[in-house]
Structure 1
Amino acid sequence: MDLARALKEYVAYLAVERGSAANTVEAYGRDLLRYTTYLAQQGISQPAQVMRSDVERYLQALSSLELASSSVERATSAIKGFHRFMVAEQICDSHPAVDIPLPKKPDRLPDVISPQQAAALLDQPFLQTSASQRDRTILEVLYGCGLRVSELCGLDLQNVLLTDEVLRVYGKGSKERIVPIMGTAACALQEYLEQWRSGLVRSHVTHENASAVFLNVRGGRISRQSVHSLVEKYGRVAGLMGLHPHTLRHSFATHMLQGGADLRVVQELLGHSDISTTQLYTHVDRTHVRMAYMGAHPRAHS
C-alpha cells in the first residue's frame, strides 16, 4: 500500500473509529496531504521508504515558512500519528517519527481587549436589519459566553435554553458543556430569535441548516469565515484593528478572573480539559496585578 492510499485510510480511521471532530480530521488531512506531497517530490511513495531524516527535513522546511508554532505542532502530531497508525495496521514495520519531539510552545500571552474596549465594540449602533442584529448578537455571545467560533457556528435552536439562562455547547471532540448566558448577551439572543432570525430563514435550506441559530443571508448555517469577517469589521468601526473572534474568548476569560471568578469555574466555562491552559489567563494583565500591589502594600513605595 502506498502513502496516498494509507493517508485515505488514516483519515477514515480518525473520522469513524476515533470519532475525531470534523475540524480536526480536516486539519490533519490537510497537513498530511502536504507531507505526502513533499515526500512524493523526493521520490518517496512507499511507507517503508520514509526515514527519520526525511521527516526532519520536512519539518525544517515547514518551520521556514514562518507558520504559527501551533500549526507546526499540529503537523508534527499528525505525522507521528500517521506513522503510528501504519505500524499498528501492519502497513509497514518502521516508525521514523517515533522519537521526534513536538516543538516547544513559546510563552505567548493571548491578546485581550479592555472592558472599555468591549463596551465600545458592543454598544456601537447596529442597523435595524436581520443581518446587522444577527451580527450584534454574535458579538454579544462570543464575549458574553466565551465560545469558540466553531461552537457558535454549530449552535442549534434546541440547545438554546433561555428560560434556564444556559446554552448547551459542543466543543472540541464533540464534548458537551453547559454555559450560562445572562445580561446583555441573553437579551440580544432572545431579541434576535424572536424578531430578527425569521428574516434570514429561507424555505429551500436543509433541515440541518434550518436548525442553526445563526444563519447567513442565504438561510444556511453561518460559516466560521463569515464570523471572522464580521468581528474584524465591527472591531475596525470601534477602533480595534485586526480584532479576532478568539480575542473575545480570551477577553471573556481574563475579565472573569479579574472580576473574582474561580479559576476552576473559568476552566469549566471555557471547556479546557487541562487547567494549565486556563492558568495562562492569570498572567495576561500584569498591569492590573502591579497596580493592585502598588495600591495595597504598605512598602510598595520607596
Structure 2
Amino acid sequence: MADRTDDELAGIVDVFLDHSRHARGLSEQTVRAYANDLGQLVAFASGRGVDRVGGLGLELLRDWLWDADHRGLARSTIARRSSSVRAFTRWASESGVLAVDPGARLRAPKGAAHLPRVVSSDQVRIILDGLAARAATDDPAALRDVAVVELLYAAAIRVSELVGIDVLDLDRERLTVRVLGKGGRERVVPFGVPARDAVETWLERGRPVLAARSDLVDPGALFLGDRGARLGVRGAYRIVARVLQDLPGEGPSGPHTFRHTAATHLLDGGADLRAVQELLGHASLGTTQIYTHVSSARLREVYRTAHPRA
C-alpha cells in the first residue's frame, strides 16, 4: 500500500468506520460508538495542530485520555475511548496506513465493575402478568409488548437480535428462533411455550393492526413499532423501560436486564455454563462467567437477610 501518512486523519477514520461496518460486520451500535469516540479524537488532535494521520502518536493519545480524565469523564467512558482508538490504530497499522501502532502501548483505567441488573422470578411473573392484563384488551401495542418481553426473557437474546427477527426466523413447532448476533454470527436459540403463545397472539391480533398504519411496513419484520415500521432498538428500550420503571432495585432498565436475568436464572437452576455460553452467543466463556458472580452475589444477599447469625 502507498504511503498514506499525509492523508487527513478524519478521512482515514471514515475508511476505518466503513471497514468496521461492511468488512467486519460490526453492529451499527458499535460503529456509532467508534464514530463518536474517534470524532472526539479528531477534534482534539486538530486543536493540537495535528490533521494528518501520520501525526498520530502515543503522546497525543495519552494527552487525549488525560484531558478526558481531567474534565471528569467517567472511567468507563475513558476505557471505551481507549478501546476505540486502539482498534483504529491497530487496523491502521495492519493495513499499512501507519508504519507502527501508536495505540499498542496505550492504557486507560478500567471501568468500574458493575454486576448486571437481575430481577427475581417473582418480579418477572409480576411484570408478565401486568403486560398480559393490558394485552387482554386487544390493544395492538400491548400485545406486542408482552410478546417482546416474553421473547427477550425466554430466549435471552440481545435487543439488536430481537428487532432483527423476521417472522420466517421463527420455528413455532420446534420452539426455536434464528437470530443474527455480534460479528454477523448466526445461531438458533430455544424459547418456551408462554413466549410462543404471546408471539402467536401478537401475529394474529396485533401485528395486522399496526401494519395497516404504514405504507412502509416491512413485510418480514416480526415486531413493528407504533407507526407500523419495523420496531427499532430505541422502541424496544422504551417498552422495557416502562415495565421496569416501578420495579424495586437499582441498575439499568433496558432490554439487557432480561438477558442478564435469564442467564442468571438458568445457572441458578443448574444449567451448564458452556450451554449458557452457547445460548447467549458469547465468543468467550469468560464473558458468560460474570453470571456466576451474579448468582454468588444473590446467594450472599439471601444469606445476609435470612440467616439468624449472618
Q: CA deviation at 1:292?
A: 8.9
TM-score after normalising by structure 1: 0.88
Q: SS of the residue aligned with 1:179?
A: strand
1:200 corresponds to: 210
Q: CA deviation at 1:169?
A: 0.9
* 1:285 is aligned to 2:295: yes
2:165 corresponds to: 155
Q: CA deviation at 1:301?
A: 7.4
Q: CA deviation at 1:267?
A: 0.9
- Write out the 4+ residue segments of structure 1 that deviate beyond 6 Å after TM superposition: 291-294
Distance in 1 of aligned mates of 2:226 and 2:16: 37
Q: SS of the residue aligned with 2:270?
A: coil
Matched residue type, 1:178: V
Residues 91 and 284 of structure 1, relative CA distance in 2, 3 Å threshold: closer
Distance in 1 of aligned mates of 2:82 and 2:229: 35
2:182 corresponds to: 172
Distance in 1 of aligned mates of 2:201 and 2:66: 52
Distance in 1 of aligned mates of 2:155 and 2:13: 38
Distance in 1 of aligned mates of 2:108 and 2:301: 38
1:83 corresponds to: 89
* 1:35 is aligned to 2:41: yes
Please give the root-mean-square deviation of Cα atoms over the aligned residues, in Å.
Answer: 2.5
Matched residue type, 1:168: R
1:268 corresponds to: 278
2:19 corresponds to: 13
Q: CA deviation at 1:197?
A: 0.9
**1:1-302 correspondence to structure 2 within 5 Å:** 1-63=7-69, 64-67=71-74, 69=76, 71-101=77-107, 103-124=109-130, 125-127=133-135, 128-202=138-212, 204-205=215-216, 209-237=218-246, 243-286=253-296, 289-290=299-300
Distance in 2 of aligned mates of 1:67 and 1:158: 42
Matched residue type, 1:205: L
Query: Contact conserved, 1:210 with 1:220, CA < 8 A, in 2?
Result: no
Q: CA deviation at 1:108?
A: 2.4
Query: Contact conserved, 2:273 with 2:289, CA < 8 A, in 1?
Result: yes
Unaligned regions of 5+ residues in structure 2, if any? 1-6
Residues 189 and 7 of structure 1, relative CA distance in 2, 3 Å threshold: same
Query: Contact conserved, 1:120 with 1:238, CA < 8 A, in 2?
Result: no
Q: SS of the residue aligned with 1:147?
A: coil
TM-score after normalising by structure 2: 0.86
Identity of aligned residues (%): 32
Distance in 2 of aligned mates of 1:301 and 1:40: 62
Q: CA deviation at 1:239?
A: 5.5
Q: CA deviation at 1:91?
A: 3.3
Q: Name the count of aligned residue pairs.
A: 294
Distance in 1 of aligned mates of 2:219 and 2:31: 25
Query: Contact conserved, 1:210 with 1:219, CA < 8 A, in 2?
Result: no
Identify the range of structure 1 (254-263 vs 242-251) with the bigger mean alpha-carbon deviation: 242-251
Query: Contact conserved, 1:169 with 1:176, CA < 8 A, in 2?
Result: yes
Q: SS of the residue aligned with 2:125?
A: helix
Query: Contact conserved, 1:48 with 1:94, CA < 8 A, in 2?
Result: no
2:4 corresponds to: none
Q: CA deviation at 1:217?
A: 1.9
Q: SS of the residue aligned with 1:210?
A: coil
1:297 corresponds to: none
Identify the range of structure 1 (10-19 vs 270-279) with the bigger mean alpha-carbon deviation: 10-19
Distance in 2 of aligned mates of 1:91 and 1:112: 44
Q: SS of the residue aligned with 1:163?
A: coil
